[in-house]
Structure 1
Amino acid sequence: MVPGLRRDGWWLDDDMAQGGVLVDVGRKVLLFFAWEGPSTELRHRAAAFALIRDAWPGWEVRWLYDGAAELREYVGLDPEYVRARGSDLSLAPLLAPGDEDLARPDPGGVVITVGADRCHVASDCFDHPVREGVALLDRLADAPGHGVCRLHVNSGIHLDPQRRRLGWWSLPSCPQAFQVTELWRGWTVEFWRDDWERHVRACGRFSPAPFDAGEEAMAAVRTQARERRAARASSRLS
């Protein structure tokens, strides 16, 4: 399958790689990360992991929150090689309620709650807003409000400016995920990894609509896998 991942005869470089897998046969460890797909969708993540673990019995299956950098670190290579420190951030637009990008069942997006009173949603097609540091607070001052976010977003931030505390999470891998504390000097920062339910408990402004995380979600993940395999097979024949 790997040769089929090439694009017009070339590979994406390490900074732009949108997913990765490392299979450690000796230790029976499977490491992987992705920027999109069912493993990064709130409705389907648990089902995707369950199906992967069923397919790799006896193996440790681990998600890489820092993407390629964490993968390189595992094999003893310098993780800084794939960290673009000092590069300009791509600021995620702050979206209004009803924006067409939020109309899909799995719209992605980043829910940002401030204290007990405010809720905003940013696009997830850019850098995670948590990487903006305290400058994010200024951007949020005039951001469209969402009341209560019930969307199936795939990332989130909860800010408590009075206590200078921040909690954040992300289902897709996020560059420099474990260095976010450096960007929020003077704040207490908690990385909740993929535990979006901690965000739900932290405030009353994020409450995703109920969904079936069992058989219905597993069926959806299997369907996506079949469609992707069929698309790859068709591209090889064309």
Structure 2
Amino acid sequence: MPERAVYVLLDDYGWQRYAAGSRAAELDLDLAAGPASALRRIREQQKTEQWSDDVWCESAVLVDQPHKVLLFFTTHTTGYAHRAALLTTLAHTWPEWEVRWAYDGLADLLAYLGLDRAEVRTEHSVIDPAAAEDDPDQLVSVVRESGEIDAYAVRPAIDEVLALGPECVDLLPEDAKVTECDLPRSGVHIDIPAKTIGLWTMDAFCGLPDKLAWPGWQVGTWADRYPDHLEKCKVTCPEWHLTDGLRTLVDRARALGSRPAQDS
């Protein structure tokens, strides 16, 4: 499957878009070495006049050189520790730059350029949720009218099921109920009495907050603050350690350095 990546470079004369069909999984390493290396790598990619879409784009980065803003996301981190290590590394290797995570994915890059997010929106397939206590993609919790809280660990993420409306809570599989699980990549907290929804992700929302604009409900985004969710739904996840993430980055860099060069 293609690992599509999109790159945007801004300078004093405007912006240029690049794309690669097989480098999305390497964006962490492309950026970690700092601005000079990242810019050189981006300019090696193919210039393009077209955007990808937010279904198939797995990594994207915008480098605003005049204002020193680095805006990016990638779905190719091995977990929260790897992601935290990447952000920590970028704070050191991109000094004096503002490093931002693009929580709405590729659409955030378009918004930064003053373009319409709708240009990259694509409908996702509706997939029935399946239980996934180990390595879940999403943790969905529901506060019932009675005040009882149920939590479900599922894979894959069921954004399109959730977009069906409040009735979607009846579609969550009983065998997916958990009180503890591996740390998921995203979470949704549905409070039926309060008619509120909270969302977080370590990847990208790709328009999910808009899809969950159920009539009469309020939607809030928690960026990557998964502890807020775990506290509300009383689910326990294993702790992660930054040193493990830093080790992952080093191991990935060594493995990449030992591989033969490939075309982008």
The interval holding the TM-score normalised by the smaller chain is 0.7 to 0.9
Deviation of the 1:37 alpha carbon: 1.9
Report percent identity of matched pairs: 26
Corresponding position of 2:20 = 5
Corresponding position of 1:209 = 238
> Which of 186, 191, 204 is the equivalent residue of 2:221?
191
Partners of 2:87 and 2:161 in 1: how far apart?
26
Deviation of the 1:117 alpha carbon: 3.3
Q: Given residue 131 of structure 2, which amino acid in structure 1 is its aligned partner?
A: A
Corresponding position of 2:206 = 175
Corresponding position of 2:33 = none
Partners of 1:114 and 1:178 in 2: how far apart?
17
Deviation of the 1:145 alpha carbon: 3.7
Q: For CA contacts below 8 A with separation 6 or more, give which structure has more relative contact order.
A: 1
- Provide the secondary structure at the position in 1 that maps to 2:198: strand
- Provide the secondary structure at the position in 1 that maps to 2:99: strand
Corresponding position of 1:20 = 60
- Provide the secondary structure at the position in 1 that maps to 2:95: coil
The verdict on how the C-alpha distance between 1:144 and 1:64 changes in structure 2, with shifts beyond 3 A counting, is same
Corresponding position of 1:157 = 188
> Which of 91, 109, 115 is the equivalent residue of 2:126?
91
The verdict on how the C-alpha distance between 1:129 and 1:56 changes in structure 2, with shifts beyond 3 A counting, is farther
TM-score under structure 2 normalisation?
0.71
Corresponding position of 1:133 = 165
Partners of 1:4 and 1:24 in 2: how far apart?
17
Q: Given residue 237 of structure 2, which amino acid in structure 1 is its aligned partner?
A: P
Deviation of the 1:33 alpha carbon: 1.2
Whether the 8 Å contact between 2:139 and 2:187 is mirrored in structure 1 is: yes
Q: Given residue 17 of structure 1, which amino acid in structure 2 is its aligned partner?
A: C
TM-score under structure 1 normalisation?
0.78
Do structure 1's residue 82 and structure 2's residue 124 form an aligned pair?
Answer: no
Deviation of the 1:186 alpha carbon: 1.3
Corresponding position of 1:146 = 177
> Which of 97, 102, 122 is the equivalent residue of 2:154?
122
Deviation of the 1:13 alpha carbon: 5.4
Partners of 2:125 and 2:174 in 1: how far apart?
17
Which structure 2 residue ranges, 5 or more long, are not aligned?
1-6, 8-17, 23-44
Whether the 8 Å contact between 1:47 and 1:218 is mirrored in structure 2 is: yes
Aligned residues: 219
Corresponding position of 1:219 = 247
Which structure 1 residue ranges, 5 or more long, are not aligned?
none
Whether the 8 Å contact between 2:63 and 2:70 is mirrored in structure 1 is: yes
The verdict on how the C-alpha distance between 1:209 and 1:90 changes in structure 2, with shifts beyond 3 A counting, is same
- Provide the secondary structure at the position in 2 that maps to 1:209: coil
Do structure 1's residue 63 and structure 2's residue 101 form an aligned pair?
Answer: yes
Q: Give CA deviations for 1:109-135 in whole Å, capped at 9, x if unaligned.
A: 101112243121221366465444324
Partners of 1:13 and 1:210 in 2: how far apart?
38
The verdict on how the C-alpha distance between 1:28 and 1:207 changes in structure 2, with shifts beyond 3 A counting, is same
Partners of 1:193 and 1:45 in 2: how far apart?
13
The verdict on how the C-alpha distance between 1:91 and 1:56 changes in structure 2, with shifts beyond 3 A counting, is same
- Provide the secondary structure at the position in 1 that maps to 2:175: coil
Whether the 8 Å contact between 2:132 and 2:155 is mirrored in structure 1 is: no
Whether the 8 Å contact between 1:95 and 1:120 is mirrored in structure 2 is: no
